[in-house]
Amino acid sequence: DTGVSQNPRHKITKRGQNVTFRCDPISEHNRLYWYRQTLGQGPEFLTYFQNEAQLEKSRLLSDRFSAERPKGSFSTLEIQRTEQGDSAMYLCASSLAKEQFFGPGTRLTVL
């Protein structure tokens, strides 16, 4: 399968714990995006990379969130000191041109 993959698919954690998600993009894609989607809403942009450079970060993203793409391939999204409001589906997408290709998402539940 050469699509975008995300791990884990599901994560349940307790409030205050740190979590880290991984995204593996389509191999030749130079751009990688992170979105968050809550129930009944569309995906909300969080941040994106071109190769290893983080080009933009949403103003809605708190300092507890950090993302990296150290070698311009896979990316990680870390959430520190999780809160119940962080419960959502976290989506990764990659692109080479205008259209973005999405992974299956990581569903985070914060208890």
Partner 1 sequence: GNSVTQMEGPVTLSEEAFLTINCTYTATGYPSLFWYVQYPGEGLQLLLKATKADDKGSNKGFEATYRKETTSFHLEKGSVQVSDSAVYFCAPDRDDKIIFGKGTRLHILP
CB of 100 to partner 1, least distance (A): 6
- Would you count residue 70 as binding partner 1 (CB under 8 A)? no
Amino acid at 21: F
d(CA 56, CA 106): 21
- Would you count residue 96 as binding partner 1 (CB under 8 A)? no
- Would you count residue 25 as binding partner 1 (CB under 8 A)? no
- Would you count residue 91 as binding partner 1 (CB under 8 A)? yes
d(CA 106, CA 75): 13
Q: Tokens 């000191």 map to which residue?
A: 81
Number of residues counted as binding partner 1 (CB under 8 A): 22
- Would you count residue 72 as binding partner 1 (CB under 8 A)? no
Please identify which residue in 18, 41, 51, 109 interacts with partner 1, judged by CB under 8 A: 41
Give the gyration radius of the chain's Cα atoms: 13
- Would you count residue 19 as binding partner 1 (CB under 8 A)? no
93 vs 108 by CB, closer to partner 1: 93
- Is residue 73 within 8 Å of residue 66, measured between CB atoms? no
Residues 6+ positions from 71 with CB-CB distance below 8 Å: 52
Interface residue list for partner 1 (CB under 8 A): 31, 33, 35, 40-45, 48, 55-56, 91, 93, 98-105
